[in-house]
Amino acid sequence: MLDLTPLRVSRDYRLLWTGQFVSELGYQFARVAIYVQVFELTGSAAAVGLTGLTGLGGLLAGSLVGSSFIDARDRRSIVMWSQVFLAIAAAEPVSSKTCT
């Protein structure tokens, strides 16, 4: 049984948990959309797999390099700036040449 007491007791924790849930849900939708788009453009399951491997490589490199970077700096500002850059990347317009 899950202990839901923190969600009932703390408004701030509910807001944090809800925001993280919505953010992760959007991230997962974007990942699936990338794989679907790669398959539609190439028709190759190998290209989809290569896309996943590329993401894994970025995750590993980011974890190794990012951990030392985060430990040396203020975490609150790093989180703020990373969210700003994620929003900018998500708001980038899609070229009409790639949509058919």
**1 within some domain:** no
Residue 28 lies in a domain: yes
Domain assignment of residue 6, yes or no: no
Pull the structure tokens for residue 54: 């590329």
pLDDT of residue 95: 61
Residue 15, domain member (yes or no): no
Does residue 57 belong to any structural domain of this protein?
A: yes
pTM of the model as a whole: 0.60
Look at residue 75 and tell me if it is in a domain: yes
**pLDDT tens readout for residues 23-77:** 999 999 999 999 999 999 999 999 999 999 998 988 898 888 888 888 888 889 9
Higher-scoring residue by pLDDT: 94, 3: 3
Q: What is the CA radius of gyration of the chain?
A: 18
Domain extent, residue 38, equals: 24-90
Structural domains counted in the chain: 1
**CA 47 to CA 52: how far, in whole Å?**
9
